[in-house]
Amino acid sequence: MSIKYSKDHEWLVIDGNIGTVGISNHAQEELGDIVFVELPQVGDIVGQGDEVCVIESVKAASEVLAPCSGRVIEINEVLDSNPQVINQSAEEEGWFYRLEISDFASLSELMDSEAYETFLLAGEE
């Protein structure tokens, strides 16, 4: 398994051809207390960069973009009743959805953990 990050602060854990998607700890800190999440539907086909989820916090609403292309195979239903899990565990229990990755070439556009930390330190948001 490996983890990749997008410039839009989504993370993707890759396990074979399955990807698990969420937002980075940095993103949840910027959003503040999350009060609602609109998740995709199982079976949805998403393209890299497509808006897949919407997060509402006490500060603002924000889109979650797909870090890669694929078909949604599972959603984290816990978030329907308890979106605060994202604030408590953004990069573990607060995942949004899993997808079957259809375009592995697009993964080259994502950053590893070290590159993402450098990206954050550079302030390029």
pLDDT tens digits, 43-70: 999 999 999 999 999 988 999 999 999 9
Question: Percent of the chain at pLDDT above 90?
Answer: 94
CATH for 2-103, options being 1.10.3720.10, 2.40.50.100, 3.30.1490.20, 3.30.460.90: 2.40.50.100
Q: Which helix (H) or strand (E) holds 35?
A: strand 34-38
- Examine the pLDDT at 85 and tell me if it is beyond 60: yes
- Dist CA 117 CA 113 (whole Å): 6
Overall pTM surpassing 0.85 (yes/no):
yes
Q: Which residues pair with 34 in a beta bridge?
A: 57
Domain ranges (residues) in the chain = 2-103
